[in-house]
Amino acid sequence: MKNVIIYASMTGHSKKIAQAISEKLGIEAFNIKDNPKIEGYDMGIFVSGIYSGECKPELIEFAKKLTPANIKSALLVTSSMKEMTPEKLKEALIANQIEVMKDEYTCKGGFLVMGISHPNKQEIDEAVDFVRNHLYQTV
């Protein structure tokens, strides 16, 4: 399977998570800021922070332009204080016939004094394990 990581981060947590997945699993990671060219991948691993309940608008707009020629399926990994599904991202992908995996992972991420120590090393490792386990199961 040909996999790719696409991440969007405001305060750096999702970037750290994306880089850990990239390094440990050998999957190339792209920052949405760089408007990456994504072509011919099986699985897109989306890693994003949650802001007012959703991902960054750039990531949602990017997803609206994707088709199965870009990525066939998507795995969602979020970073937020509370566990929540990034509905707009998910809807954009599904609307474009990209299969969104039922399993999602939320890596706890603090903001200012709330949960300042998160994500910690263990939480980042768990995010990597989630992706690893998922890729193993679907191979």
Residue whose C-alpha is closest to residue 4's, from 40, 33, 41: 41
Under rule CB under 6 A, residue 90 binds ligand FMN: no
79 near ligand FMN, judged by CB under 6 A: yes
Ranges within 40-69 binding ligand FMN (CB under 6 A):
49-53
CB of 13 to ligand FMN, least distance (A): 3
By the 10 Å C-beta count (0-12 exposed, 13-18 middle, 19+ buried), 51 is classed as middle
Residue written as token pair 């709330």 = 114
Compute the least distance from the CB of residue 126 to ligand FMN, in Å: 14
User: Which of 25-33, 67-75, 80-88, 121-129 is the region at the interface with ligand FMN (rule: CB under 6 A)?
Assistant: 80-88
Say which amino acid occupies 33: K
Three-state SS at 65: coil
- Tell me if 22 contacts ligand FMN by CB under 6 A: no
Q: How far is the CB of 119 from ligand FMN (least distance, A)?
A: 7
Q: Mark the segment that binds ligand FMN (CB under 6 A) among 31-39, 64-72, 79-87, 128-136.
A: 79-87
List the strands of the sheet with 29-31, edge to edge.
Answer: 29-31, 3-8, 41-49, 71-80, 99-108
**Greatest Cα-to-Cα distance within the chain, rounded to the nearest angstrom:** 42
State the Cα–Cα distance between residues 54 and 70, nearest whole angstrom: 23
**Which one, 2 or 33, has the nearer CB to ligand FMN?**
33
Interface contacts to ligand FMN, rule CB under 6 A: 9-14, 49-53, 79-82, 109-111
